[in-house]
């Protein structure tokens, strides 16, 4: 059962929006190689705001993703593409259908 997730907010630098969108599209192929990543969504919320939502069966899967190729590439490209560091929130899913926001972030 999938019970762990990440919600990552990305704020693109002016003029870098298309590059952030391309990064998210290209990253999907890398994420598909991660057996413990059960879902991965990248979307645009506004002119410069993007989010990634991904889900995992457990903490080990989430931690593996956070130390994986996409996370490494994101942190490497962040200074060039983003106006601020990515905001990464760890989430826990309860069977009730509600998300519980854990106050600690990565």
Pairwise CA distance, residues 51 & 44, whole Å? 6
pLDDT in tens, 90-106: 987 765 455 554 444 33
pTM of the model: 0.83
pLDDT in tens, 14-50: 999 999 999 999 988 889 899 999 999 999 999 999 9
User: Could you tell me the residue range of the domain that residue 77 belongs to?
Assistant: 4-105
Residue 106: the pLDDT is 37
Overall average pLDDT of the 5-14 stretch: 96
Question: Which tokens hold the place of 24?
Answer: 């998210």
Pairwise CA distance, residues 65 & 55, whole Å? 10
Overall average pLDDT of the 51-64 stretch: 94
Into how many domains does the chain fold? 1
Overall average pLDDT of the 52-65 stretch: 94
For residues 90 and 102, the answer to whether their CB atoms sit within 8 Å is: yes
Residue 97: the pLDDT is 52
CATH number for position 51 = 3.30.70.100
């Amino acid at each position: 059962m999938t019970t762990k997730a990440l919600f990552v907010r990305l704020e693109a630098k002016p003029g870098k929006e298309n590059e952030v969108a391309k990064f998210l599209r290209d990253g999907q192929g890398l994420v598909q190689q991660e057996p413990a990543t059960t879902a991965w969504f990248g979307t645009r919320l506004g002119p410069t705001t993007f989010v990634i939502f991904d889900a995992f069966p457990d903490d080990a899967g989430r931690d593996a993703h956070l130390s994986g190729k996409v996370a490494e590439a994101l942190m490497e490209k962040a200074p060039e593409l983003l106006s601020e560091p990515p905001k990464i929130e760890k989430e826990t899913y309860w069977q009730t259908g509600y998300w519980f926001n854990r106050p600690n972030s990565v």
